[in-house]
Amino acid sequence: MRCNEFQNLIDAYLQETIDEPRRENFEEHFFQCRKCFLGLKLNEALQNKDVRITLEEKPRVFVLKLFKPLLVMSSLFLLILFSVLLVQQKRQTRLLLEISAFEIPPYHQGELRSIPENGAAIEAKFSQAMKYLQERKFRPALNLLEGPLMEEAAYPKIEFFRAICYLGEDEAEKAGEIFDAIIRAMDPAYFDDALYYKGFVLLRQGQKQAARDQFEKLAGMLSPMSMKAGAMVQKIEAIE
Amino acid sequence: MDGADFFEKLLNHDPQAQKKLIETFNPRIFLYFRNRIKGENNYEDLVQEVFSAFFRGLDQGKMTSVVWIAPFLFGIAKRVLYNYFYKQRKNNEIQQKVSLVCEVTCDFTEAERMENQKLSQVLNLLIKDLPQIDRLILNAFYLQEKKITEISNMINRSNHYISVRKQRAIKKIKNEIFRKKLY
Ligand SMILES: [Zn+2]
């Protein structure tokens, strides 16, 4: 049995309307095929009503606009704090800044096409923004990500990369706000990534201990980012 | 760990490899029995029997490479099911418990429960990310148990559109789970 045929038979299998020869082929297939088995499990969980499927739109994660004046003030405050830090701990901060250089996270094309309205247009704009980002042109990328169409989409992926842009533009506070919101929303797609890059925000803010704790927390989690986070813990510990 | 390496470790009773094998196939065997035997809520003995026969077969050289593991397990599961239905299960039948042939001790039922719980949690999180239309379709189909035709009338789309959207939504979740290595 091919994977395609398998997918089409899942409902029939779970509702036991499948005929016997195909039922056995179906079972033989899921013993061998990890991907198809997961698809079957997901369907089973849904059918057993083990899952909440809410219809409400996810509230917009960000209320940045409202807090803009506040943010400017706090950024200013942080800037001053940061300058003080620079004077006090020049050497350590230089080292911290050195390791706070971050790599641009990868992105996955196509996901945004499923947004009901303007999906293709949003995806096109997003791709262009990602091109800028790969070249570390943060400002043009940010302009695109905060452009009219994108802002309405309020998609976690867009928010995440907005934060990356702010991080690149050295607006750590803004980046931190966005990452915090993603972490609070426990958005599974960008939860781990947000935790990881929040560590860089803290580094850029000169908060060595907080950054170390942040990376350590992630390193201890069952996460694809845990190895990278562990490496960051070591890097930070090396600065004394 | 590649296939040959994994198989070699299984042959040598490596506990890590045995654990990995059980983790991989326990949910599949459970789902198989769950679907085949209704009204039974304890599958522990049946699953135990499958694994014990598997590890015995492995020791007896019945499999020569990693590609035979899944078909061999499926064959055993079918036989165990057959025995369950058609043969009188004798009380004095000596059932070799998995613990005698496998280094790993395991409560298969509990492992399955945990696995399902974990999957539901992941699913709960990922579903929130789907477009509203997909959540609407999944909600109507699974929670309200509406037929595809009813849903298509409800939102004024073709049956085909609904089926495709439903499948794609699940595929999207599946890909996300693999991408994030959640499963
Ligand atoms: Zn398959």
Q: What is the ipTM of this complex?
A: 0.88
Q: Are residues A115 and A40 in the same domain?
A: no
Q: Is B122 on the interface with A (CB under 8 A)?
A: yes
Nearest to A163 by CA among A188, A185, A146: A146
Residue A94, domain member (yes or no): no
3-state secondary structure of A51: coil
pLDDT score of A93? 63
pLDDT score of B125? 85
B131-149 mean pLDDT = 89
Q: Considering CB atoms only, which of B74, B138, B183 is closest to A38? A: B183
A98-116 mean pLDDT = 69
pLDDT score of A62? 47
pLDDT score of A125? 85
Q: Are residues B92 and B22 in the same domain?
A: yes
Asked if B180 and A189 come within 8 Å (Cβ–Cβ), the reply is yes
What is the total count of domains within chain A? 2
- Print the domain residue range for A34: 3-47
Number of CB atoms found within 10 A of residue B33's CB: 18
Q: Are residues B100 and B163 in the same domain?
A: no
Question: Which sign, positive or negative, has the C-alpha torsion A176, A178, A184, A190?
Answer: negative
Residue A135, domain member (yes or no): yes
How many angstroms from the chain centroid is the CA of residue A55? 23
Contacts (Cβ under 8 Å, ≥6 apart) of B61: none
Q: Are residues B61 and B131 in the same domain?
A: no
Q: Are residues B154 and B78 in the same domain?
A: no
3-state secondary structure of A157: helix
B135-153 mean pLDDT = 90
Q: Is B113 on the interface with A (CB under 8 A)?
A: no
Q: Domain containing A189 — which CATH number?
A: 1.25.40.10
Q: Are residues B67 and B115 in the same domain?
A: no
pLDDT score of B54? 93
B109-130 mean pLDDT = 88
pLDDT score of A46? 93
Residue A61, domain member (yes or no): no
pLDDT score of B10? 92
DSSP secondary structure, B105-130, as one string:
---HHHHHHHHHHHHHHHHHHHHTTS
CA distance B92 to chain A (A): 31
pLDDT score of B99? 59
- Print the domain residue range for B127: 110-180
Last residue of a domain, one of B83, B104, B125: B104
The CB-based long-range contact list for B72-79 (8 Å cut-off, 24+ gap) reads B73/A31, B73/B25, B73/B28, B73/B29, B74/A27, B74/A28, B74/A31, B74/A32, B76/B50, B77/A31, B77/B29, B77/B32, B77/B33, B77/B50, B78/A24, B79/B53
The answer for B 153-172 residues in CB contact with A (under 8 A) is: 167-168, 170-172
B119-147 mean pLDDT = 89
Q: Does residue B137 carry a pLDDT above 80?
A: yes
Asked if A58 and B128 come within 8 Å (Cβ–Cβ), the reply is yes
Would you say the pTM of this structure is higher than 0.80? no
What is the total count of domains within chain B? 2
Residue A181, domain member (yes or no): yes
A154-165 mean pLDDT = 86
Last residue of a domain, one of B53, B79, B104: B104
Would you place residue A108 in the very low, low, confident or very high pLDDT band (cuts 50, 70, 90)? low
Residue A67, domain member (yes or no): no
Last residue of a domain, one of B104, B126, B146: B104
CA distance A52 to chain B (A): 6
Q: Are residues A117 and A235 in the same domain?
A: yes
Would you place residue B91 in the very low, low, confident or very high pLDDT band (cuts 50, 70, 90)? very low
Asked if A31 and B167 come within 8 Å (Cβ–Cβ), the reply is no
User: What span, in angstroms and rounded, lies between the C-alpha atoms of B155 and B137?
Assistant: 9
Q: Are residues B92 and B149 in the same domain?
A: no
Asked if B119 and A45 come within 8 Å (Cβ–Cβ), the reply is yes
Q: Are residues A40 and A127 in the same domain?
A: no
Would you place residue A161 in the very low, low, confident or very high pLDDT band (cuts 50, 70, 90)? very high
A117: left (phi over 0), alpha (psi -120 to 50) or beta: beta
Q: Are residues B44 and B92 in the same domain?
A: yes
Residue A65, domain member (yes or no): no
Q: Domain containing B75 — which CATH number?
A: 1.10.1740.10
Asked if A51 and B124 come within 8 Å (Cβ–Cβ), the reply is yes
Q: Are residues B51 and B66 in the same domain?
A: yes
- Each residue's pLDDT tens digit, A115-154: 566 777 888 888 899 889 888 889 999 999 888 777 666 6
Q: Does residue A156 carry a pLDDT above 70?
A: yes
User: What span, in angstroms and rounded, lies between the C-alpha atoms of A210 and B36?
Assistant: 53
Q: Are residues B81 and B133 in the same domain?
A: no
Alpha-carbon torsion angle A44, B133, A66, A145, nearest 10: 100
Q: Does residue A38 carry a pLDDT above 60?
A: yes
Per the model's pLDDT, the better-predicted residue between B25 and A80 turns out to be B25
- Residues B84/B37, Cβ–Cβ less than 8 Å: yes
What is the 3-state secondary structure of A135-155?
CCCHHHHHHHHCCHHHHHHCC
- Each residue's pLDDT tens digit, B13-60: 988 889 889 989 999 999 999 999 987 778 888 999 999 999 999 988
B92-109 mean pLDDT = 62
Q: Is B81 on the interface with A (CB under 8 A)?
A: no
- Residues A183/A196, Cβ–Cβ less than 8 Å: no
